[in-house]
Amino acid sequence: MTIADPKAPRPDQADLDKAADRPEDADQWTARIRTTAVEALPPQRMLPDRQPAYVASWIYVFGVVTISALCVVIATGFVLAVFGPNWWHVSSTGLFVNSLHLWSVEVFFFAMVVHLWGKFFMAAWRGKRKATWITGVVSFLVSVGAAFTGYLSQQNFDSQWISTQAKDGINSTGAGAIFNVTNFGQMLMWHIVLLPLCVVALVGVHVLMVRLRGVVTPFAARNETPGGEPADTTGAEVQA
Amino acid sequence: MSADTHRKPRKFVQDRDAVVWKGRYEPYDIVKEFLIALVVVVILVAGLAVVFGSPDDRPVTVKSWSTASPVDFAQTAITELDGTSGTATYGPPYNENGTAQSIGSLTPEHWLGVHHPIDTAQDYVLGPLATLPDSPQVQAAVAEYRSATATRQAAWTAAYEKAVANATYAHGKLVVPAGDYGPVGEIVSGLTSMARSGALDGALVSSNQFYGTDYTKPLLFIADGQYLANLAANQHLGGDEWGMMNETGQWPGQAWLWLYTLWYQVPPANNSTNGDLEVFATMIVLTTILALVPFIPGLRSIPRWTRIYRIIWRDHYREVERPTGGGPSSGSPPQVEGNAREPVTV
């Protein structure tokens, strides 16, 4: 009986690594998805360590701040969910966690709105980036819904007032039949399950699209022809 | 040969197309940037939470409402009994009694109909009173009311509704000027006592299930009264003060709803019976436009016209437009992203 060396690579695994794209597997769904994904987003594009020189403005920070704040929102929401909806009303620790949750939401929206308007004024949809823009806008809208249902789930005066006011708008569209803002249980489920899943999925798709298409290039400079070569490299146009 | 090979490149449009970057790349540690941003956000959020905290005003209960303002409660209760309250005359999704909001011939409230049925007389008054134990007078009043004709019921409630406007509450009892109210006086007094004991809160949320999470009935009942609205007005939360985007106290609330709330402050929505639907329709149109800006000529040119991008990319333009430099993309032919073609340089 021989004892295998645990440090030695398993021959079957090594074989698999080498033959990641076997011709005979070309029609296999799994292989096709992997090949397409790696071709579209190779590791260097997925986690780049270089960026074009023009990516050097504070406006670019707000995208990553938005994602950072979303992480804090989810983490604090996770803690609130662990202890249940009544906890933060009766515990000073719970109230503090709720405060963290509230302020992370405020920071999230502030950063997201600055990011959105920054991207608007960069016309960041240019160059096949329309879907990136649209997923960003939809992410913002779904985030508004997630925050709104959070306010409805607070079980305090604010949630009473907001729900009894908001019902008129929702009901006027007919949506009140299936989206009842005065039903605490339903709003809590939307707030802690459905909408967070949607937000995370949308933000994930949005980020993948940014990585796929890259950061939009600047508009042509004064001494460049839009979309073409520099019109006057002497700078005469600038001096004039 | 594929069909793509024959596709004619589109004309380059500045607000739609972009060139491939041929210039310099610089080190950019994206993971480090994320972690630094995360730490900064955590510190910022913790600081804000410590300094400002978060609001948590106690909710209004039927008990607290009827205790603090028993006359308002009684005035509301009679409108629930005679079917003239806000909820009783609301329409879908609670009942078919109201006039639905519409735009032109569109009345979306009717599309899905009544999904949360509320019969205010039964659900808010007669039903809860029937659960009261050891109350023969109240049960007799309820029985008398139920057995009366609709005309008789309407005469009693109309007379009581007029009288209760001048009611007072003293020595634990609702004092209403004398009149021919039949059993209605006993019914409303009984319901007020039930509410002040806290029993009505439980009766309104009880259902066929042991666990209940739907507070639609008690919330709408409370909202039919003036008490909740007065508390909100004291906190500057009224609809004419940017309403539900605010929170109690000085907390920022849902500031991102400012545009939605704005339409309630100005005509036509602020004095229209279809105001809610008009505001929603406006927001749906504006949101759709925002999402589709890249496809809308004129709108998608605003960034180029405003030239704010020159502030964002000021370092880039400073470098490109240097008198001695040809810019980061000089020396190599431009390549346009997608299938657009670069314009002819003249």
**CATH code of the domain covering residue A179:** 1.20.810.10
DSSP 8-state class, residue B214: B
Tokens of B219: 């919330």
Distance CA A110, CA A66 (A): 8
Q: Rounded to two decimals, what is the model's pTM?
A: 0.88
Looking at the domain assignment, is residue A137 inside a domain? yes
Residues A99 and A137 grouped into a single domain:
no
**Most B-contacting residue of A68, A143, A159, A211 (CB-CB within 10 A), to test interface:** A68
Cβ atoms of A190 and A149 within 8 Å: the answer is yes
Domain ranges across chain B: 3-44+296-341, 62-228, 235-291
Residues A69 and A117 grouped into a single domain:
yes
Residue A207 in this model has a pLDDT that exceeds 90:
yes
- Which of A55, A95, A160 lies at the smallest CB-CB distance from B54? A95
Residue B333 in this model has a pLDDT that exceeds 90:
no
Q: Pick from A122, A137, A165: which residue ends a domain?
A: A122
The gap between the terminal CA atoms of chain A, to the nearest Å, is 88
Confidence of residue A145 (pLDDT cuts 50, 70, 90): very high
Residues A180 and A203 grouped into a single domain:
yes
Confidence of residue A238 (pLDDT cuts 50, 70, 90): very low
Spell out the residues 6+ positions from residue A3 whose beta carbon is closer than 8 angstroms to its own: none
Residue A226 distance to chain B (closest CA, Å)? 6
Q: Residue A189's domain spans which residues?
A: 129-214
User: pLDDT tens digit string along B159-193?
Assistant: 999 999 999 998 888 899 988 999 999 999 999 99
Looking at the domain assignment, is residue A35 inside a domain? no
Residues A118 and A140 grouped into a single domain:
no
Residues A161 and A183 grouped into a single domain:
yes
DSSP assignment of B225-291: SSHHHHHHHHTT-SGGGTGGGS-STT----GGGHHHHHGGGSTTGGG-TTHHHHHHHHHHHHHHHHH
Confidence of residue A59 (pLDDT cuts 50, 70, 90): very high
Looking at the domain assignment, is residue A223 inside a domain? no
Looking at the domain assignment, is residue A10 inside a domain? no
Looking at the domain assignment, is residue A30 inside a domain? no
Angle ∠(A48,A54,A56) on CA atoms, nearest 5: 80
**Most B-contacting residue of A158, A192, A210 (CB-CB within 10 A), to test interface:** A158
Higher pLDDT, B46 or A237: B46
Residues A114 and A134 grouped into a single domain:
no
B169 three-class SS = strand
Is the Cβ pair B323, A188 closer than 8 Å?
no
Residue B330 in this model has a pLDDT that exceeds 60:
no
Looking at the domain assignment, is residue A195 inside a domain? yes
Looking at the domain assignment, is residue A103 inside a domain? yes
Residues A107 and A91 grouped into a single domain:
yes
- Which of B50, B294, B326 lies at the smallest CB-CB distance from A130? B294
* Helical packing angle, A130-152 and A157-172, nearest 10°: 130
Spell out the residues 6+ positions from residue B160 whose beta carbon is closer than 8 angstroms to its own: B78, B176, B179, B181, B184, B185, B188
Residues A109 and A178 grouped into a single domain:
no
DSSP 8-state class, residue B301: G
Residues A205 and A138 grouped into a single domain:
yes
pLDDT for position A10? 61
Q: In total, how many domains does chain A have?
A: 2
Residues A155 and A116 grouped into a single domain:
no
